[in-house]
Each structure stands twice: as structure tokens, then as C-alpha cells.
Structure 1
Amino acid sequence: MKIFSFLFFCCGLIFSVQKGLAQLPSTGEEQLSLNGKWAFKTDPNNLGEDQQWFTASYPALGWDKMEVPGNWDTHNKYAHYAGKGWYRQEINVPANWQGKTIRLHFEAVYHDAKVWLNGKLLGESHSGFFPFEFDVTKAIKYGGKNTLVVVADNTFKRGATWNWGGIRRPVTIYINNPVRIEQAHVLATPDLKNNTASLNVKLQLRNTSNSPQNIKAEVTLSDKNGLVKSAKLDQKLALSVTLPPNSTTPYTLQTTLPKAQVHLWHFDDPYLYNLEVKMTQENMTQHQVKDRFGIRKLEVDGLKVKLNGEEVRLMGYNWVPDDRTTGNTLPAWRYKADIDLMKKAGANMTRLSHLPLPKEVLDYIDEKGILVFSEIPLWGQDALVDANNPLPKQWLKQLVHSQFNHPSVIGWCVGNEIGYIGANPGVMAYVESAISYVKKELDNSRLVVYVSHSADNQKTDPVQFSDMILFNKYNDLGKQADKGYGNHPGKPMFYSEYGYNLTNENLNLGVIDAKGMLNSIRNREYLMGASLWTFNDYRSAWQAHAAWNTAPTGNRSWGIVNVFRQKKRAYEAFRKEYAPLKKLTVQHAGQLTPGRSVKTAVRLQPREILDLPAYTLRNYKLVWEAQDTHGKVVQSGFNILPVIKPGDKTVVSNINWKVPAQNPGALKVTLLSPTGYDVYDTLVYLQKPAAPKIKQIIPGENGVRVLFEKNPAAEYYVVRYGKNDLSSRSDTTINHYLDIKKLDKDQVYQFAVAGINNLGEGAPSEPVKSTPKTDLLPPVIWYTEAADSSFFIGYGYENFDYLYTIQYGTDLNNPAKTKTLQVTTRGLCRVPNVANGQPIQFRMKRTVQQYVESGWSEIYTVTPDGNGPKQTPPVKSVSRLGEEAIIGIVPVPKATGYEVSYQENDINKRVKINSAQADYLVVQNLKKGRSYNFSVTAISQNNNSKEAAPAGKLTTSTQQ
């Protein structure tokens, strides 16, 4: 985007602000986003401050453009840059901002930052994960141009993750009246015996003026059903006070919710309440804030962890909140997709991240239901592990104050793997003082913990101060857990990290022994859960030893999904082991012949009481879909399941369905959680897979690469090959290709691909002939991602690669419409300066260090999208039972949610589902016996997709 375009955008915002600033909007607060393209320049020689790049008069000629929020590492030329990066932006400030309080807020800059306004240093920040802000009321120039300059320095590394550089989260100017609400915390304490709940609303009210201010504050509570009435009937919580000048004053309001108004928050029932606080003077709104909270009780009872009085044994994943295309900026589509994928794979409790997470991420976790330990970024041997150093306690204060209202946060963590006394001599005093500080001064309603990797080796270990034993270990998991608990008995243990070794970036080779891992730690009374390291592969430069070294791509492959969130074989293995049922099997009455009606018994075997996981299932559903060989659903339905507890006998749920009369493919049976996640499924195939189609064969490296289209009825694929027949057979793969090596060059071979499911190997494709060569094979194209005026390519590598060449354009057969880009980055590159909405073809080749080139890869097409989904979500199925319908869809990349549209009594109705990777959309409160046509639209941050074709016309009478 050109600078002129950005300034025009800003002026448009300021114009709307100017119209309203004489009287601020009904919230009493205006927000001006400074997100967009900023002028940018790296400073590897540290010249910027000496040459005064921060002054308003500095010309900044030839500077690049960089998106805010953003990371410079997502651009090819800055992909490995560590050092200082300078940002500049001009802001036109209207004169009628005078008399207001103006704050400049940075949500996060990695890692060290300095900020200047009009050449004056405002201050510094030295944590890349916490927000910081400056009161610029007196520093800003009203009625004119202001120059904002930021220098970010990403030299500092924290742990084994990548040091993503830049202004990584949004920048906002807040315009307030002189009095405002700084904080509104809700402490909700349920009485499980009487089913009531006490609420303490703790306010911090700020007066920035030089005189006392008489104000009124009013608190309103509501939920999805409307206003929530307290024990004082419909009386609102309110106060009238005089705020002292230039001060922040705390106040507390209390009430009790009766039984009828209490709905407890649970990971399977994440019920949320709305909080609204309004401050007024002379009946004029001065400030208004809104937030959400939940009511739940998490307690340690001996060796049991109880949620709302019921024992739970829960599993989860550690999440490194970044990816290779958006860095650690965390756009909504990325964090929502990741959380959805973790929930599908059984995540209900976790030490999710070493890092503080943004509010909107925790908002989504609140809504979806994961119990989280929130942590400050203190790791390893560190001078900050010191009871007398104020910085960790400052971080803890920021963490607690910013995340207090989130019911998903069940504990505060004061540090990770800092426990060896030889490395950190002050660790015992630090952990004891930090935990005491949180409990006594910040929050005594939650657990306060420390993550130990030394509890098995030290009888004197800081874990003794922790409310639970959070424990990190790799290999010999059961033995090490027993040893750690033996040294520190009496408290439940949660494996906050567990694993063996790195897996592989290749989806087919990304295998982890999930069953073996979990069986080694199951059935221990003291061990109530575990969190795998990690959910996702992540960028890193960490090198440790042969089994733990980061690959040349810079992608550290611990995950069950890769850096592009493609599922490895390990994903389904952990999804099965984390499922709330031990086993789901089907048994048919009669033969599965085409067109025949069948009664099928679905047998649901509960977990044992000391299993991992183990918790009660309420309001779960069993969804079934009969598919043809193309994956098209021809019939579907669902059953509502009874309450299932750990240790119960096997539950049987019967379904009545008809085998597809033509091309019968499979019966899919899915366990659907109350939050809409398909947490377990099984496919009963009705015939072997049809023959796949070979797309292309590329000869090279004494063999060939066979690329093929996948078949919905196949789980794995093999290549059959030979000179005169198809007697040779490759290993199986889940990938879209197979490399066949060690063939005789200049000899003609024939190749065919066959799919495999649980009925066996299907018929092979039509054979295709090819002659192996010694040429280099091109890179494997793993992934493409459309972006704003650009696109990303994720590709394979070899250790001796030197250069990658990308040829791209609207027509690769026309040289006039084709461009070439060369990069040396392995695994990922960005192709810039292409038009949004225009399909672009591309292909790649690689050059090794001897300057030998490969041939070209297959041709792919991608359409840059301006960071919004353009696809229509395909609708697979619609099931109806009484007042409820379940719509099966194929999730759309970059969607942040979906909208289901239908008509009732000639009234258009719309239901929004806030989920990025939902496979099933639940619509409730339908009229019994009435027909409905449903349409589905994908929602994004920037725009919506076109509506899907009507999903079907259904009446209750046609359903089960």
C-alpha cells in the first residue's frame, strides 16, 4: 500500500473522530488504529540513534514499507535478520482532541523497543509479549502532524522458539475523558451445595484531571437470555463517589446470584456472562467498558483435581503461537484454527504456552473450553530468577490484571524449568516469593504453580511451593513421573510437557507412538493429566543433539501438525488416545448390500476411572453419514447420547440407515462434543477404494516422483511399478506423491497408484510409463497460502540445496506474463507484488551447491486474496432431529466463523457460529414439523464468502 493510501485511510478515521470528539461516543472512548503500512529500515550497524532517525525532520528516503502488526521475518530479504528495525509513521491529530486523555498503546513489540513522538523519547519496553502504553496527552501536537518512531530489536532469544522481529501486535491511540474505568474484575465464587454464586466486581477508577470528580458507576450483568437478576432482584450494582485528582482508586461491589441465574462454566459447557460497567457525570456517559466472565470452581482435593465438584483427568497440548506465514502476529483465523484443531484432538486442559497470550485468544479459549495455566516468559538459567528482581513480579502483575476475567485460566505459572539450584542459586527464594506475591497481592482464587524439570532429581526443589506438581520430562515418562512424585508426594501431578524426540516435517513420516506414551503414564492416581510438547511444528534456530536438532528449514518438528497446520500421521494417533471414549465400534445386523436398510449398533466403551483422559460425558451426540465412493453424503442423522461416566459399562446406540444404492463408499460415525467438535470417529468402508488418478510423473535421481489425486475412500496409497508388470510395491503414504528410487536409468517402467482402506488395497490406476533419469528432482510443494498482494510457498529441501527459483505469472506459457524470483531460504518463500483476486500459476526448481539444477516442479495455481476467504464452504450433510439440525461442512481456509441462513414464517434468520475449523454447525430452536432450506457462508476478518448452495430441505417427519 502506498503512503498516500495509508494517510488517506488515517484521515478518514480522524474525520470520523473529529465529528464525535466534542462529545465522545456512547462508550466514552474513541480508538484510532495505527495498523497499516509503516516506513521501515533495518539498522544492522546500530547507526539509527547516532544519526537521529527518530527526529521528525529526518528524511527517511528509500525506506521500505512494513505491515503493522507484522514480523519482518516473513519477508524473504529479512527472513534471518536479527537486530534493530526502525518504523516511522505520520499521524494527523485534530485540534479538538485537546481536553481529552490521549494514550498510545502497543500490544506487543518484540523484544526490546524504544518509542519517540515528535523526536522526544517516550520510553522503552523490554518484553516482547506484554502490552505497554504511554500517556501522550502533553506530548502530542494538536491540530497538526505528529511523527511516531519505534525501534524494535529482536536480538534477544527466549528459549527454543524463533525471535520474530517487529511491531507484532496492533498499535492503537485511545482518546478518553479525564475520568475513565481502568479495570473491572469479576471474582465469581460458586456455592456448589446451594447452587448459588457470589460476585465481587472490583473496579479501578481513574481521574487524570487536577480536581476531584463526582461520578456514578453502574454495573450490569447479562447472559444469552438477557439481564441477570441478582439476589437484590433487578436492582443494579451502583456507586456514587468522588474521585481524588490525578489518582486511581479501587472500589468493590458485591452481589449474590440465586440458583436460577447460575450456569457453571465447564470445558464441555463454556457458559459465559456479560459484564458492562458505565461511569457517568450529570447523566452523561464518561466511559463504558464491557467484558465476559464465567462461574466455575477448580480445586485440588488430595490427589484429585475437581471442576465444579467433579473429578477430571484431562489432556492437552503445548502450543507455540506462531507460524511461518504470519509469524507471531496471531491473526484471528490462525489462532482460531489452531484452537479448533486442538479441541478436535481432545485438548481440554493444558499448560498452553510459555508466553502471555492476547485477550482475544483467551476470549476464544473461554468460549471453546480449555483449562489453561498462564505463564510469564521466565525459562532456564536466567539472572531474572531472583527474589529481589522486580521485573518477574511486574510481569506477574500484568499477567494477572490483564487475564483475571477469563474462566479458562485456572492457574498462574511463575516460571518454567528454572529449578536446578546449581544453575539458578536463588531459585528457591524466587519461586517461594513469587507464589506468595500472587496469592497475597494479586489473586488467591486460582492455583499458583511452577513448572519443574528437576523434581525427579532434587528432593529440595521449588515445586514444593507449587499448588500442583507441573512436570516436564522426555522419555521414560512413567518412571520419571514416579520418581518426581516420590520426592514430592501429596499433590496431584500434571505433565506440563512430555514427549520423546522430534518427528519429521514430512506428513507421512511424522509418526509418534501416542499409545505407548499414554500407556506408560496411565492408571496413576496422582497423575491427573498431561500436555504434549507440541501441537505444532514451529520456527527455531535451536540445536541440541542429533535427535533434537532443528531441520535446515528452521522448522522444529515436535508437532502433530506441521508449520502449515497440515496433519501428520501423529495427529489422528493422538486424537484417538485423547478421545473421551476408550473405543467406538460398530456392529451391523445383516449384510451391507447396496440399497438395503440396516440397523447398526454403535458400541461406546467408556474410559476407566484412572485412565487419561477420564471425565463425564454430558450432551454428546452421535452423528452418522452414509457416503458414496466420491465422499458425497447421501443420508445422515444423529442420536443424543446418555450421560457416560468413567468406569461405566459399554453404552449401545442404534442407528437405522440405508446402504447407498449406487457406488456405496462408507458409513462414518462421529462422536460430537457439546461444543461442536468431532472428537472421535470411525469409518466403516463398504468397498475398497476406486483407482486414483495419476497427475504427473517427474523423472529424476535414478527414479521418479509420482504425483496423484487423492481418493476419499482411501486412507493410504501405494505405487505399483515394474518394467514389464506392476509386481513391485512402494511403502504406504498419506502424502500426495511418492518418490520411487533405485531404478535402472534409461529403462522404461510403468507406474500405477492404488488406494488402501480397512478392506484392503483397491484397484490400481491406469499404468503410466516413464523413464528414470539421473536429473535432480524438483522441490516437493507442500503448501500454498494466499496473502495480501502476495502468496507463500512451502516446499521440501535437501541438505545440499543452494538456491530455489520460482517462475510465476498469469500464464506460464506466455513469457510476457511470467516473472522469476530466486531465493535461498529453505522450506518457505514469499512471492510479493502480485494482484489480489487474479489467479497466479507457479512452479519451482532447485539448484544444489555444485550449481546443478533440477527440472521444474508441477504447476500450481493460487489466487492472492487480501487475507480473506473467497471460497464457499462446501456443505456435505444436513441432519435433523426435532428442534435441532446439524450441518456438515468442509471448513474454509482463513475463515473466522460461519453463518447459517434460513427462513421461518417468511422471516430471514441467521445463526453465527464462531469457529474457524468447524466440521459441523449446530442450529437450534427450529420448529417441529417445519421444512427448512439452509445456506452457509464463511466469515472472515475482511469479508464473507458467497453463500453455499442450499444445504437441503428437511422436515422433522423425515428424520429419525
Structure 2
Amino acid sequence: MSARTIVPLEESWLFQADHRNEGLSLKWYEHGLTSGESVKIPHTWNVQQGLEEFRGTGWYSYNLFVPADWEGKLLRLQFDAVYRDAVVWVNGKRAGEHAHSGYTTFIVEISDLMNCDADNRIVVSVNNENSQTALPLGNSFDWADDGGIIRGVSLIVSGRVAIDYSKLQAVPFFEDDLSGTTATYGLLSGEIRLWELGSEADIKTLQLKVTLSNEEGAVASQEWKLAETEGALRFRDFRVDQLKLWHFDHPHLYTVHLAIYVDGVLSDEVSTTVGFREIRSDDRTLLLNREPVRLFGVEWMPGSNPEHGMAETSEQLAEMLHHIKHANCVITRFHWQQDSKLLDWCDQHGLLVQEEIPHWQTPNEPGDEWLNISLQHAEEMLHRHYNHACIYAWGLGNELNGQSEMTNLYFEKLKSQVHELDNTRFINYVSNTVHEDPAQDTTGAGDLIMWNDYIGTWHGDLNRPEVIRSITKGIPNKPLVVAEYGLCEPAFEGGDERRTQILVENTMEYRKHPEIAALIYFSLNDYRTQMGEEGEGRLRQRVHGSMNLNGMPKPSYEVLRQFASPVTVSVNSELGSLVITVEVRNDIPCHRVSGYTLELNDAHGERIVKVIPELAPGQRHVFSFTEIPQERWSEISLEIIRPTGFSVIRGSLNDLNNNFIG
């Protein structure tokens, strides 16, 4: 029997908007809601008719039966995210609150407030009014400010000595400095932070058992007995042989099962996943598992489904993430903290992520007074998401005044504090001012140069090649990532045709500069935002994407997919044979191709599958098919498929015949 039970609290919540701010005076927290709308969590009121423009307080109420055998257990309510300021009551008593951060997980202990073998009442008030003490600040941020319990809620039941969170380091070790798809071995180390130990003095021994497994079953298990905890259990150098590395094309994951025993009795257990991978830079080169890579990506703005807003379901999140991978993009960034379920998908399917605190443009020149709130955001993000293999970097600010000395000092102090929390990942600042005076700009204090390039639109007419050279000269010895480029309508004219032109022309220029390590096109989708220049209510949006709000692709989406493909294909005939040449790009994207397959299908259901041998950038492989008569070539479609199952190139032989533009 498991020592931990997780009860999802999703169905049958009551919700009521508090238009007149009377909830406290009417003691809704004590009596619960006697009327209101039955809603399912996740939920936001800002996509409901009549409440699209409501910024204020909403109330939620839930009845929960607690069985008698939970007596003496540790009971915790976990809120995956509430936007934004929340107060939680249990049976009329204030249990906890969470403020200033609307996209991070928080947990409230309710053990002493619950009645066993009885019904219990949980009440939550949520306020999404503009705030001058929260991030994002005020009304100046470029996404939707949907209020509500926007992510999942669950009750965690365990023994009194329990795990709060874990921070696991999965480090591969290579035989030499040469790149490869495997490592000789790996070492797993970790820190397991315990929930507050009210009865710790009565504990004689604590035992930690760690079991590691992969898709083939258990790999190894190890136990540690620990007398001193200081609120955490630590272990080091758990060795893993015959290691499989995590890579965006080969996202191998290991499951780590953590079990806590108190005086020999199992008190709590939890499972998480890790990926053994190494991401670092060497001068201007980005290295993934020792391989020099140049990566292509796109940014997606979640919360844009007009029916669900920021309360998108796991299935809807997965659908949009699938569009990213289908577009051949392997790297992205998020302007605010995301759901762990979303990051689980990125772990499992191979998508590199920079996750950021929502510090966007304002305050323009942050000072020391903002360090605590920014650190709260960073701590809550890191503690819950540390183990995700997909996260390669943390972002601590976007488009502030990067030319300001005050901003420089602020970021350096914040980075230093975050580095103490995690010294294994890049820590970055994303700049839209680095082109002005690169040597002065705050992004230079980050581990990567992150540049939002809007030359020709927001940044006016500048010479892009000269700007790139000035950036790399002004900030030497660091890889450059173009963190955004694209077209925002209706602020700028030209429609999707101009968006395609910007995508093509900018990408062709970026490919000429070897110091550029990655491109992140902006954006995958038109997105809901309270700053939007088009639409009203829940449809207020910025037309910035290659897909519309409803997830329908525009012509520029297919161009993005072609340009982000790591391979090109040419189709020819030679002495009556069908000849297909697959060549690996050697600019952007640029990485080894391993485990890819080529498939030929015809209208009669016949299928030919060929394994593409491992190829380095610039290498090619030629397939010759003598068994296919020339009169059938027009009936045949070709597809190249990644080892993760995502399509790289798909089309008829006629369409692909010397017509690949990427």
C-alpha cells in the first residue's frame, strides 16, 4: 500500500464573482457558497460571457469528505497555480494565503483543520486586480491576466514526515571530450526537502531509499540512514552504468522513486523523472552532450484558447506543444512559469525550455526593492521544476531597460542569488536594447546573449549584419540566441505574407553568423493579451503568430516547418531508378541526425521503410530504389520521421522534387 495518496479536486466546485466585494462581510469563507455556478478546475472567469472584463475577487467553494483512517495523517492542499492573490479557508478558519505570484505552485497544510469521518468545506478567494507589488506589475504585460484557479488542485495525504520537493542532479560522465550519443556512466545526487517536522524530536532514525528505473525496469536501488536532517535529506554519487542520454531527439528518462522511512516504517514516497544530459557553452558554441549544436525554435504563448484561456486542459496544452515539434522546433521559452504537466510533456517528447519569471518591461529600472519578489518567483519556480530535463535555462527578466546601470546591478544581484539555488543551468536576461550599446547591456551579465530582434519594425531601420557584428564584438565569448523575431499585426502592416518574408530573410542572415547558437521565432500563435490591438473581451489579441487563436495554421507555419528542418531532401531519377538524397543542414539548425527513418507510401497502401544512417552536419545519404516503376512515382508520398515519431518532411515526390526551400 502506498504511503502517499493524491486526491485530485477537480469536479463540483462552486464559483461566484464578487462584484460588490461583499464576500468577507457576508462571511462566505465561513459558510461557503450557497449559490453559484458549478465549475470544473482548472477554471478562469475571464472567458465567461459577462465576466471577460472583470478584474476583482472570485470565490470558490468545495465540499470534501475525509475518511476516518486519515486521522493522524499529514494533509496538504496543493494548488498548481492560482491567478493571482489567493486566501484559503478550511471549515471557516484561515489556512493560508499566496500572493504576488500567479503562475507558481503553493501548498497549504490543513491537517489540524480537517474533521475525519465527516464533510469538510474548502473556500478560496482569488483576486486578479492589477498590483503594484506583484509580477507581472500593474497593467503592463503582454499576455492574458485571467483570474481564477487556473491549474489543478489536489489533496496530498501522507505520513507526518513527508517530502516537500526534491532537487536531483543527473550528471553524465564521458570517456573523453568527444561528442557522442551515449556516456560511459552517470552519477545521481540529490537533496530531498522535508515538510515541516513537528514531531522530529521523537524520531530515532530516518532512512532514505532511492530506486532508479528506466523503461526496461529497475536499474539500481540504494539506501541511506540519516540521523541529522536539518529539514533535508541528501545523497551523493548514485552510479548509473550503460547510461542513456537525454536529447531532444532521444529524450531518455529515468524514474527516481524516493521513499522516507521513520524508525523503519514507510512515511512518504514520491516518484519523479530525470534526464542525464549536459548543456554548456564553450566560447561562442553551445554544446549538448559535448556536441556543438545550433538550434531552431519557436515561442508559444499559452492561455490563448478563447474557450479556456489560462485554464487550458492538459490535452489542449499537449496539442499546442505537438504543433511546436511538428514545426521541427526543439527549443522554446516561456514569459511566465508553466504547469508541471506541460514540462512533463517537454521532458518526454524532447523540447528544450527556458522558463522565466514574469518580469516583463516594468518596472523599467528595477532596484533592490524588487529583489525579494523576484526571488520569490525564482524560488517557487526552481523548487518545483528543478528536476525537469527539458529546462536548460532560467530567465530572470525580459525587455527592461537593459542599458541602465541600475538594471545591470539588479540583475547581477538576482542572478547571484538564483545561482545559489541552481548552479547547473544557464541564467539569462532577455534584451531588446542590446543593439544600442552591447558592452553596456544587461544581457551581457547572463550566461547567454539573449536578443529580441525587431529591426525593421519596433527597432526601426538598422543594418542587421552590422548590429550582429557589434553585439558579438561588444559581448565576447558567449553564444548569441535570437530570442524573438517576427511581425506583430496590426501594429505593423503586411499580414502573413510579410511575416513569412521576415522569417525567411532574417533566418537566411542569421545562418551566416556562426556565433548565433539558436533562433526562437515569435510566435507560434496569435495570442490573447490584455494589451491586444485587435478583438475585444476574451478575443482581445495580438496577431503575431503563424497560427490563429483556434490553432489553425497560416501559410507561414509551413515555411517555419521547412526552415526548421534539420535535413533537406532532393528527388531525382538516374538510369530509371528513383534517387532520394537526404542531406543534414550545416547552418541553423545544425546537429547530428540519428535514428531517423525514411518512409515511402503509395495510394494502394504499400510502404517502404529505410533507416537513415547516423549523419553529421553537412553529410548526406543517397537512397536508390530500382524496384519502383517510374510510372508510379507520381502516386508516392515521402516522409522523414524523427525517432520521437514527429514528422520532419512530408509530401509527394513531385512536390519535393528540388522544391525544398528551407
Normalising by structure 2, we get a TM-score of: 0.88
2:4/2:270 contact within 8 Å kept: no
Deviation at 1:81, TM superposition (A): 2.5
User: Which residue in the other structure is 2:307 paired with?
Assistant: 325
Residues 1:383 and 1:92: Cα distance change in structure 2 (over 3 Å):
farther
User: Which residue in the other structure is 1:63 paired with?
Assistant: 36
Following superposition of structure 1 onto structure 2, how do residues 670-819 of structure 1 map, counting pairs within 5 Å? 670-685=639-654
Aligned residue among 361, 375, 398 for 2:380:
398
Q: How far apart in 1 are the matches of 2:635 and 2:559?
A: 21
Q: Secondary structure at the match of 2:311?
A: coil
Deviation at 1:383, TM superposition (A): 8.0
Aligned residue among 566, 572, 578 for 2:564:
578
User: Which residue in the other structure is 1:698 paired with?
Assistant: none
| Matched AA of 1:155 | E
2:84/2:127 contact within 8 Å kept: yes
1:511/1:569 contact within 8 Å kept: no
Unaligned runs of 5+ in 2: 131-138, 177-183, 457-463
What do residues 426-466 of structure 1 show as CA deviations (whole Å, max 9, x unaligned)? Answer: 32222101111122x21111111111112112332222211
User: Which residue in the other structure is 1:641 paired with?
Assistant: 612
1:512 aligns with 2:500: yes
The alignment covers a number of residue pairs equal to 627
1:492/1:528 contact within 8 Å kept: yes
Q: How far apart in 2 are the matches of 1:269 and 1:310?
A: 14
- Name the structure where helix makes up a greater proportion of residues: 2
Q: How far apart in 1 are the matches of 2:329 and 2:368?
A: 34
Following superposition of structure 1 onto structure 2, how do residues 547-696 of structure 1 map, counting pairs within 5 Å? 549-551=533-535, 553-581=539-567, 583-589=568-574, 599-608=577-586, 611-627=587-603, 633-648=604-619, 650-656=620-626, 658=628, 666-685=635-654
Aligned residue among 258, 269, 275 for 1:294:
275
Identity %, equivalent residues: 25
Aligned residue among 353, 359, 382 for 1:378:
359
Aligned residue among 138, 147, 150 for 2:124:
150
User: Which residue in the other structure is 1:43 paired with?
Assistant: 18
Q: How far apart in 1 are the matches of 2:447 and 2:499?
A: 35
Q: How far apart in 1 are the matches of 2:363 and 2:624?
A: 59
1:265 aligns with 2:265: no
Deviation at 1:467, TM superposition (A): 0.8
| Matched AA of 1:373 | Q
Q: Secondary structure at the match of 2:363?
A: coil
1:624/1:638 contact within 8 Å kept: yes
Residues 1:198 and 1:64: Cα distance change in structure 2 (over 3 Å):
closer
Deviation at 1:497, TM superposition (A): 1.2
Q: Secondary structure at the match of 1:474?
A: coil
Q: How far apart in 1 are the matches of 2:254 and 2:234?
A: 21
Residues 1:661 and 1:208: Cα distance change in structure 2 (over 3 Å):
farther
| Matched AA of 1:432 | E
Deviation at 1:306, TM superposition (A): 0.6
Deviation at 1:61, TM superposition (A): 4.7
Aligned residue among 445, 451, 461 for 2:424:
445
User: Which residue in the other structure is 2:199 paired with?
Assistant: 209
User: Which residue in the other structure is 2:348 paired with?
Assistant: 367
Aligned residue among 153, 156, 161 for 1:179:
161
Q: Secondary structure at the match of 1:391?
A: helix
1:507/1:569 contact within 8 Å kept: no
1:475 aligns with 2:452: no
Deviation at 1:274, TM superposition (A): 1.4
2:402/2:443 contact within 8 Å kept: no
Deviation at 1:89, TM superposition (A): 1.9
1:116 aligns with 2:116: no
1:223 aligns with 2:205: no
Q: How far apart in 1 are the matches of 2:450 and 2:494?
A: 31
Deviation at 1:601, TM superposition (A): 0.6
| Matched AA of 2:84 | H
Of stretches 381-390 and 176-185 in structure 1, the one that deviates more from structure 2 is 381-390
Residues 1:572 and 1:256: Cα distance change in structure 2 (over 3 Å):
same
What do residues 108-167 of structure 1 show as CA deviations (whole Å, max 9, x unaligned)? Answer: 111222222222223322221001121111222334332222122223356111111211
Q: How far apart in 2 are the matches of 1:600 and 1:53?
A: 74
Q: How far apart in 2 are the matches of 1:181 and 1:41?
A: 34
Q: How far apart in 2 are the matches of 1:63 and 1:159?
A: 31
Q: Secondary structure at the match of 2:640?
A: strand
Q: Larger Cα Rg: Structure 1 or Structure 2?
A: 1
Residues 1:342 and 1:478: Cα distance change in structure 2 (over 3 Å):
farther
- Name the structure where strand makes up a greater proportion of residues: 1
1:347 aligns with 2:316: no
Residues 1:573 and 1:657: Cα distance change in structure 2 (over 3 Å):
farther
Following superposition of structure 1 onto structure 2, how do residues 850-869 of structure 1 map, counting pairs within 5 Å? none
2:208/2:233 contact within 8 Å kept: no
User: Which residue in the other structure is 1:595 paired with?
Assistant: none
Deviation at 1:64, TM superposition (A): 2.3
Q: Secondary structure at the match of 2:615?
A: coil
Normalising by structure 1, we get a TM-score of: 0.62
Q: How far apart in 2 are the matches of 1:210 and 1:290?
A: 24
1:87 aligns with 2:28: no
1:316 aligns with 2:297: yes
What do residues 341-392 of structure 1 show as CA deviations (whole Å, max 9, x unaligned)? Answer: 11121111222x1111222211111111122112111111228933343121
Q: How far apart in 1 are the matches of 2:245 and 2:5?
A: 34
Q: How far apart in 1 are the matches of 2:512 and 2:493?
A: 32
Q: How far apart in 2 are the matches of 1:505 and 1:65?
A: 44
Q: How far apart in 2 are the matches of 1:255 and 1:605?
A: 40
Residues 1:654 and 1:337: Cα distance change in structure 2 (over 3 Å):
farther
1:38/1:88 contact within 8 Å kept: yes
Aligned residue among 199, 206, 217 for 2:188:
199
Q: How far apart in 2 are the matches of 1:682 and 1:88?
A: 52
Considering Cα pairs closer than 8 Å and 6+ residues apart, tell me whether 1 or 2 has the greater RCO. 2
What do residues 588-624 of structure 1 show as CA deviations (whole Å, max 9, x unaligned)? Answer: 357xxxxxxx73111223323xx11111111111111
User: Which residue in the other structure is 1:52 paired with?
Assistant: 27
Q: How far apart in 2 are the matches of 1:682 and 1:39?
A: 50
Runs of 4+ in structure 1 deviating by more than 4 angstroms, as ranges, are 476-479, 503-511, 656-662
1:34/1:173 contact within 8 Å kept: yes
2:300/2:332 contact within 8 Å kept: no
| Matched AA of 1:520 | E
What do residues 383-437 of structure 1 show as CA deviations (whole Å, max 9, x unaligned)? Answer: 8933343121122112122111111111111111123456xx7322221011111
Q: How far apart in 1 are the matches of 2:337 and 2:543?
A: 23
1:166 aligns with 2:130: no
1:507/1:567 contact within 8 Å kept: no
User: Which residue in the other structure is 1:803 paired with?
Assistant: none
Unaligned runs of 5+ in 1: 1-25, 230-235, 544-548, 591-597, 628-632, 687-714, 716-756, 760-960
User: Which residue in the other structure is 1:462 paired with?
Assistant: 442
1:36/1:69 contact within 8 Å kept: no
Q: How far apart in 2 are the matches of 1:578 and 1:653?
A: 23
Q: How far apart in 1 are the matches of 2:232 and 2:13?
A: 38
